[in-house]
Structure 1
Amino acid sequence: MVHIQNMSEANALEPHWGYADRVVPCTNDPGSCAYLDVVYRSHDVGMYYTGIIWATIGGILLIWAVGRQFGRRQASGVQLPGQDGEQPKVRKSALERMRKAIPAYVRQYLLPDAARPIFGRTTRTQVLVLVVLAAYLTVWSFVGIVYGKWVTPVKNMPGVYNTRTSLGAFADRVGVLAYALTPLSIMLSSRESILSLVTRLPYQSFNFLHRWLGYIIFVQSALHTIGWCIIEIKLYQPQPLVANEWIKQLYMIWGVIAMFLLTLLLVLATPWGIRLTGYEFFRKFHYVLAMVYIGACWGHWEQLKVFLLPGLIVWFLDRAIRLVRTALLHYNFLPSGKMGFSYATADITFFSDETSGDIVRLDFEHPHDAWNVGQHFYLCFPESTIWQSHPFTPLSLPVFNANKQKHSYVFRAKKGETKRIAALSARRAERLPASEKTTSTADAKLSVVLNGPYGESVTRDLSDDTNVMCIAGGTGITYILPVLLDLAARPRTKDRRMALVWVVRHRKDLKWVAPELDALRRQARDLGLEIHIYVTRGMEESRALAPAEMVSGTTGEHEKEKDIAHEVTFAETSSSSSTHSTSLSLHGVRESDIAADHIANRPDLEKLVRDFVDANVRGRTEVFASGPGEMISELRSVVAGLNKGSEVWKGEERWDVKLTCDDRLEW
């Protein structure tokens, strides 16, 4: 806008926040002056609109925070005496019934996956939020602009005319919005997330919006770039003189660089780009590119640094807080008696598996405060590299008011850092004396650096009458076992039902978590817990459910069973006086299926979950799940089908079924 105004004839410069100063009074031709009026007015209005957008975001977060605190309060009810020895019943108020019925309605329609080819394994809820955000931004991209066309003469060039349109005002508007959304994009990607503090949603749940908001910013920037290219290369005259003078300006050079970096960010963030470069390269290069991109945006249009500076501050604060948290976790007494930074030293148990990928279990103790069940830590292994850390959920249960916390982790070596750690574990295991080795495992030591914990508690708000069903696939058992161990440590609640369903490939896989599984098995009868384990591949001896010291009792005549879903029941011999037995079943496969390496005996999740809900005496149901993406997608559809808001409104709380997944599966 500066170069079409006559600065030498200016009486004054009128400042406009976030834009170039305007010459007043306007000394151009009437058409150009009218065009300048439209452009400057639409920009000023657009800056107000960005304030409205951020006020809307702040208002939603405020309402969310207040509503969350209000929702934690239990609505009052009128207690009615029970009849014929029944427990007293509670007549729920309309507010309490509505508070429970609305989430059930929402889960019924919005919990399943949306269009998977476009959005991946993402719930309809997140896609709905994205659609609302995109529609909201679309409205602000067009309103407040006077649309018109002005054909104006070029000074000192008879017969040559400029074409002024509202395309310039629109291109500026979407460019401003792209700048205004930059801090939000960074907030959505932060591990130390203020959004998580307000909403109590884990920071991982914002990854989807971060990715798609990046796409929106790219589209806005592309429209801004295309719009001004049309104006400066086609509509302004004479050409190519105007275009050459325009592109040589410093702010335009920075604009071209910013658009190139943003395009590179987009391409490398696609699934194709991540597979091509590797996730770790993508993640670190993404950080660097993002910061350089913001710097280029600053060079392109410094007047809008009001949006860029907060983004930089949020990014650097996120990294600084991570370092501080790590330092505080590891600032302890050293063997010399002095205080300093000390690693945690983990015992490695290595499970060789050439077909599916080796398994590594880490066990160590470290002095720090207890975390909440469901939270995870980032683990860095300095003996491999200090530039990478990976998220892992502790298998062990936190102990409050303890001097040290026990950490146990189980993960499968796939590629990258986990594969290097498995290889390092295998090499160290080979160096151990033969007397310290076993047929399937070997112990060694590994230095570990912790960062965290991150995420939210998944058991804090479980009421005493909530029925719990835990479903895991493979190493996903590390996410759900702490839930059951935590509930096992609480007083038993009458009529509460619990179930564990674990799908593994081989029977030997049960050794990964043998101590924890054994602890649950001993308490299963008292907890009302059923344990079902499905083996999809492999054929081992029929009694090999776990190490010998874990299994006791009889197995029945299951050796004669040839069905794909035969069951092995272990009686609890230590409590023979009880009339109940621990229900712990192992579902296997036929030998003919194994010969063809056929994945047999995969559980029917819909039947399992539906039967569990149908058998509940009272109370709502919470399903905890962690495993392959296919399992999570299937469970979302199953749980959505079980939610019935109308029945919950009538007081039938068992149709209030919630699904809590390990959100890190989206990474």
Structure 2
Amino acid sequence: MSGLAPRHIQNFSEAQEVTHHWGYADRMVPCTNDAGSCEYLDVVYSAHDLGMMYSGIFWLTIGGIFLVWALGRRLFPAREPVDDLLAQLSPLQKKQASASLESQHRPPPKSTLARAWTTLRTAVRSHLLPTAPLRPLFGTTTRLQLVILGFLVAYLTLWSFLGMKYAKWVTPVKGLADTFNTRTTLGPWADRVGVLAYALTPLSILLVSRENLLSMLTGVPYTSFMFLHRWTGYIILVQSVLHTLGWILVETWLYQPQPKVWNTWVAQLYAIWGFVALGLLLLLWVLTWGAVTRLTGYEFFRKAHYVLAMVYIGALIGHWEKLQCFLVPGIVLWALDRLMRLVRTGMLHSGYSMETGTWGFRAVQAEAKMWKDAELGDVVRLDFAHVQKPWNIGQHFFLCFAESSIWQSHPFTPLSLPVADGTGKVRHSYIFRAKGGETKKVADLLAKKLAESTAVTTPLILQGAYGENVVEGLTQDCSVLAVAGGTGITYVLPILLRLVREKPAPGRKIELVWAVKRTQDLQWVEPEMEELRRLGTAHDLRVRTFVTAETAAVGSEQVKVTGEKGKTESEDESDSAREASVGSGGDDHRPDVTAVVDGFVSGVAHGSTRVFGSGPPGMVVDLRAAVARCNAAGRVWKGEERFDVRLVCDDRLE
């Protein structure tokens, strides 16, 4: 307490009572200093107490939002768009009504309330789905994420300034004639900002956890919280800098005599830990720079981020241990996330082996194929079957390549349909391009093996599955457009495979548009594409591929699967394909995403439209803009549901 006494200008020898303040130093009452100093202390303690209360309100607000969200998902789950009158019919009447509507190739009419809700969602999507402005600053995130960030910043700004008396007090320095301290609300305000920075720390950890509590409550994949995690860290950095600058100004300029006051203050242990924490936070920020990440490698950034973050939290406790009520939960969340990851991996890989007759932990052996590409990077395909519960379409796994490094894992989306066979095994198939880093090391190891043998396997350790079920709520009257670039085909293929294995839905439109660099790239998923062509005849499935980096290519190859002829037709640059490609050679032979989406939506006969996309960030940005333009709330209200266009993207690209 004595170390804090000079700072808080309190007379401990004359105190009659001690009042406790959560998260701050105790206060001695009554105040026996001069009137200005006593009034200043009143502002200091009241501002802090209100700051702690505002931090509680902040967390109650966050908890309330996610609690209401979670309850809403369970009390009002997503349902098929059924008219209220149909819900009141007997089972036989419902069957007859549904059969009549199906024969007319029309979905059931929506109630007024359901139509209003759909119209509202369409209007929001049309404005908030496109990529946010200032892309160099915000990346390829959506306007919706930016709006959420704006609300968070405004909310925190409000709590940073609310409830404080803004004034200046000139007070004498004991023992020094004609020497005065200038006390202002800068000190209490700097403390308030510091408290809010502490309060945000567990939120930052909660947003980045792979075993994400928020995802469990809302169904939103953890990857969707990455943008807010990054910007919450930036907010904490700004708050920490303002807190530090505020007290540096106080201790070097407003308090007298100098430099004695500064030298005494900066030598205190809590001040030293404060500077250490700020230095670690600045280092964390520097490591997020794109140039630094490219120089050091993503894996170094990830591991360094973990270590520095934990050391930073320790420094915060050293700086002001009375606020560890905000920091201990963050450490617990981080530890639970790591523990649950180990549990997931153990559950996937531990059990009884029929081959060896033993129990234990074992990696899976994946069969490998490779397509050499010296310019763009070799492409590797891995296939294996594993006993487990099928995952949801759209989810991804983290794969650890045991032959290369057990300390690294990378996220990959299975291109296979998650269906268990008679023995309980589910087939996994993955494709990745080895551009550098760990994937390049793996590709080089496999290349050496393939040079010696035609059948090559590599051990894998899986962790997952993570992400959302992208086909949840996909009704039979919903038309589906899949747009993929390169290895992004792995994200959309399982969706199409599921659709073609289902009973055909009258009037549903299904189309795949896939852009690749080389003609040989079409071989990556040849078995799956063959299945689409074989089963797609009953679904009027249309498949269009574009080769973008070979000057010999005409521009695009179009394969249309039609139910009328019952066979596959191949066409070279038909009129419709020409409309969807631009330029005359090389990289210009790529699909015009806007034309693709517009053409698809205009051809939908009835029902809503779902667009699935995965590929380079530029393609995803264009796809968002195209889908947003197609969402027309007024036309949806009038019953033209094809303009209710929802986009589902592989947001791991963000």
Task: Give the TM-score, by structure 2 length.
Answer: 0.92
Q: Which residue of 2 aligns with 1:2?
A: 5
- Which of 223, 234, 239 is the equivalent residue of 2:242? 223
Letter in 2 for 1:373: I
Cα deviation for residue 585 of structure 1 reads 4.9
Q: Which residue of 2 aligns with 1:51?
A: 56
Q: Which residue of 2 aligns with 1:121?
A: 140
Q: Which residue of 2 aligns with 1:330?
A: 349
Q: Does 2:360 align with 1:340?
A: yes
Q: Does 2:425 align with 1:404?
A: yes
Aligned partners of 2:106 and 2:500: how far apart in 1? 25
Deviations 1:536-584 (A, max 9, x none): 12367x9xxxxxxxxxxxxxxxxxxxxx446565789xx9xx5354355
- Which of 23, 29, 32 is the equivalent residue of 1:27? 32
For the structure 1 residues 533 and 155, does the alpha-carbon distance in structure 2 shift closer, same or farther, using more than 3 Å as the test?
Answer: same
Deviations 1:484-537 (A, max 9, x none): 011122221111110011111111111100100000010121022101111112
Q: Does 2:23 align with 1:18?
A: yes
Aligned partners of 1:52 and 1:616: how far apart in 2? 48
- Which of 96, 99, 104 is the equivalent residue of 1:86? 104
Q: Which residue of 2 aligns with 1:607?
A: 595
Secondary structure, in 3 states, of the residue corresponding to 2:357?
A: coil
- Which of 565, 575, 581 is the equivalent residue of 1:579? 565
Aligned partners of 1:122 and 1:374: how far apart in 2? 19
Secondary structure, in 3 states, of the residue corresponding to 1:371?
A: coil
Q: Which residue of 1 aligns with 2:411?
A: 391
Q: Is the 8 A contact 2:545 2:556 kept in 1?
A: no
Aligned partners of 2:415 and 2:531: how far apart in 1? 13
Q: Does 2:29 align with 1:63?
A: no
Aligned partners of 1:159 and 1:522: how far apart in 2? 95
Deviations 1:141-171 (A, max 9, x none): 0000111100000111111101110011100
Deviations 1:268-319 (A, max 9, x none): 1122221232111001000000000000000100000100000000001001
Q: Which residue of 2 aligns with 1:538?
A: 550
For the structure 1 residues 120 and 609, does the alpha-carbon distance in structure 2 shift closer, same or farther, using more than 3 Å as the test?
Answer: same
- Which of 77, 80, 83 is the equivalent residue of 2:84? 77
Q: Which residue of 2 aligns with 1:268?
A: 287
Segment of structure 1 superposing worse, 106-115 or 600-609: 600-609
Q: Is the 8 A contact 1:568 1:586 kept in 2?
A: yes
Cα deviation for residue 473 of structure 1 reads 0.6
- Which of 294, 299, 311 is the equivalent residue of 2:330? 311
Aligned partners of 2:492 and 2:55: how far apart in 1? 43
Cα deviation for residue 98 of structure 1 reads 1.5
For the structure 1 residues 493 and 192, does the alpha-carbon distance in structure 2 shift closer, same or farther, using more than 3 Å as the test?
Answer: same
Q: Is the 8 A contact 1:477 1:626 kept in 2?
A: yes
Secondary structure, in 3 states, of the residue corresponding to 1:461?
A: coil
Q: Which residue of 1 aligns with 2:93?
A: none
Segment of structure 1 superposing worse, 459-468 or 288-297: 459-468
Secondary structure, in 3 states, of the residue corresponding to 1:158?
A: strand
For the structure 1 residues 86 and 60, does the alpha-carbon distance in structure 2 shift closer, same or farther, using more than 3 Å as the test?
Answer: same
1:241-640 alignment runs, 5 A limit: 241-334=260-353, 335-400=355-420, 403-432=424-453, 436=454, 443-538=455-550, 564-565=554-555, 579-583=565-569, 585=571, 598-640=586-628
Q: Which residue of 2 aligns with 1:545?
A: none
Aligned partners of 2:479 and 2:103: how far apart in 1? 23
Aligned partners of 2:586 and 2:123: how far apart in 1? 39
Segment of structure 1 superposing worse, 285-294 or 21-30: 21-30
Cα deviation for residue 73 of structure 1 reads 3.8
Aligned partners of 1:570 and 1:249: how far apart in 2? 75
Deviations 1:371-396 (A, max 9, x none): 01000000001110011000000111
Secondary structure, in 3 states, of the residue corresponding to 2:376?
A: coil
Segment of structure 1 superposing worse, 488-497 or 72-81: 72-81
Secondary structure, in 3 states, of the residue corresponding to 1:631?
A: helix
For the structure 1 residues 323 and 112, does the alpha-carbon distance in structure 2 shift closer, same or farther, using more than 3 Å as the test?
Answer: same
Deviations 1:451-490 (A, max 9, x none): 0000011112101111000011111001100010111222
Q: Is the 8 A contact 1:530 1:584 kept in 2?
A: no
Cα deviation for residue 197 of structure 1 reads 0.9
Secondary structure, in 3 states, of the residue corresponding to 1:72?
A: coil
For the structure 1 residues 569 and 298, does the alpha-carbon distance in structure 2 shift closer, same or farther, using more than 3 Å as the test?
Answer: closer
Cα deviation for residue 10 of structure 1 reads 1.8
Q: Which residue of 2 aligns with 1:549?
A: none
Deviations 1:415-468 (A, max 9, x none): 000101110110001112xxx4xxxxxx31100000000001111210111100
Secondary structure, in 3 states, of the residue corresponding to 1:582?
A: strand
Cα deviation for residue 400 of structure 1 reads 4.3
Aligned partners of 1:568 and 1:624: how far apart in 2? 19
Q: Which residue of 2 aligns with 1:553?
A: none
Unaligned runs of 5+ in 2: 87-96
Secondary structure, in 3 states, of the residue corresponding to 2:170?
A: strand
Aligned partners of 2:352 and 2:647: how far apart in 1? 42
Q: Which residue of 1 aligns with 2:92?
A: none
Aligned partners of 2:471 and 2:390: how far apart in 1? 14
Aligned partners of 2:44 and 2:328: how far apart in 1? 26
For the structure 1 residues 616 and 485, does the alpha-carbon distance in structure 2 shift closer, same or farther, using more than 3 Å as the test?
Answer: same
For the structure 1 residues 85 and 223, does the alpha-carbon distance in structure 2 shift closer, same or farther, using more than 3 Å as the test?
Answer: closer
Q: Is the 8 A contact 1:533 1:587 kept in 2?
A: no
Secondary structure, in 3 states, of the residue corresponding to 1:16?
A: coil
Deviations 1:83-142 (A, max 9, x none): 997357644222101221111101101111112122111110000100111011000000
Deviations 1:296-345 (A, max 9, x none): 00010000010000000000100110011101100022443120001100
Q: Is the 8 A contact 1:533 1:585 kept in 2?
A: no
Aligned partners of 1:141 and 1:616: how far apart in 2? 51
Aligned partners of 2:156 and 2:102: how far apart in 1? 61
Q: Which residue of 1 aligns with 2:220?
A: 201
1:645-656 alignment runs, 5 A limit: 645-656=633-644
Aligned partners of 1:422 and 1:586: how far apart in 2? 34
How many equivalent pairs are there? 627
Aligned partners of 1:13 and 1:202: how far apart in 2? 49
Q: Which residue of 2 aligns with 1:560?
A: none
For the structure 1 residues 297 and 193, does the alpha-carbon distance in structure 2 shift closer, same or farther, using more than 3 Å as the test?
Answer: same
- Which of 207, 231, 236 is the equivalent residue of 2:255? 236
Q: Which residue of 2 aligns with 1:548?
A: none
Cα deviation for residue 606 of structure 1 reads 1.2
